[in-house]
Copies of this chain bind each other. A is one copy, B any other.
Amino acid sequence: MKFLAEIEILPKKGLLDPQGKAVTQSMPRIGIDNVSEVRIGRYITLDIDADDASKAEETAHVAAKKLLANLIMEDYQVRITAA
């Protein structure tokens, strides 16, 4: 079966996110005054072929831990849907 894994990666809470801070400060310049914090990370989708959703999730976690996320500095979450 085909699954879509969506992996969302963000800098860990408490760690500096200079890109997010710069974007937060830019908000008033585009007329937005009700955004207090912006955090910027990566969004990665994987097309996975697996027997079931839990196998697909396992593959996504292996990819995230070994290749996609830097667990020292980043947190990630995985969402699996049938494709």
Contacts and interface: CB of A to CB of B under 8 A. Distances in A.
Contacts of A41: 42-45
A52 interface: no
A44 B10 CA distance: 8
Interface residues of A, number: 34
Q: How many copies of this chain sit in the oligomeric assembly?
A: 2
A71 interface: no
B35 A47 contact: yes
A43 B43 CA distance: 5
Contacts of A10: 43, 45
Interface of A: 6, 8-10, 20, 23, 26-27, 30-32, 34-50, 59, 62-63, 66-68
